[in-house]
Amino acid sequence: MSETNKDLLKRWFEEVWNKGRTEAIDELLAPDVVAHGLVDMSGQPVSTRDRFREYHAQFRGAFPNISVTLADIVAEDDLVAVRCSVQAKHSGPDLGIEPTNADIDITGMVFIRVADGMIVEAWNSFDFLTMRQQLGLL
């Protein structure tokens, strides 16, 4: 089960984030998922697959060339943890600010819980403070 869950998370980052395949969101994310640590443009927690789809569209709209590289991945039972880095250029206005054309390079960690072959809960910790600094917002 652990290897299958690792493969699910690898597929998540490759297809949803690196390739921008929005249809993979429906394939991999449970409808009632809770994504701790992510908030939408109004500051509300991302708490369902539909809300995540909006979050994803906004983030990829601002960073269409996003690239997530997985550094470490560990799994036990229904939990998977990954440490990763994120690189992108801020070339779109979808985060409510005009494109800065600044490059970002941040790190993050995610723990996910898997049930019935889908992500049902995620705990996200990304260095959004450094991202805001790299965009010249702080």
pLDDT confidence of residue 68 = 98
pLDDT at 124: 96
Output the pTM of the full model: 0.93
* Cβ count near 26 (within 10 Å): 11
> For the domain that residue 28 is a member of, what is the CATH number?
3.10.450.50
Per-residue pLDDT tens for 17-76?
999 999 999 999 999 999 999 988 788 889 899 999 999 999 999 999 999 999 999 999
Which pLDDT score, from 0 to 100, does residue 40 have? 80
Structural domain boundaries, residue 27: 2-134
How many distinct structural domains can be found in the chain? 1
Please tell me the predicted confidence (pLDDT) of residue 39.
87
Q: Is the pLDDT score of 1 beyond 80?
A: no
Could you report the per-residue pLDDT of 77-135, keeping only the tens digit for each? Answer: 999 999 999 999 999 988 888 999 999 999 999 999 999 999 999 999 999 999 999 99
pLDDT of residue 95: 80
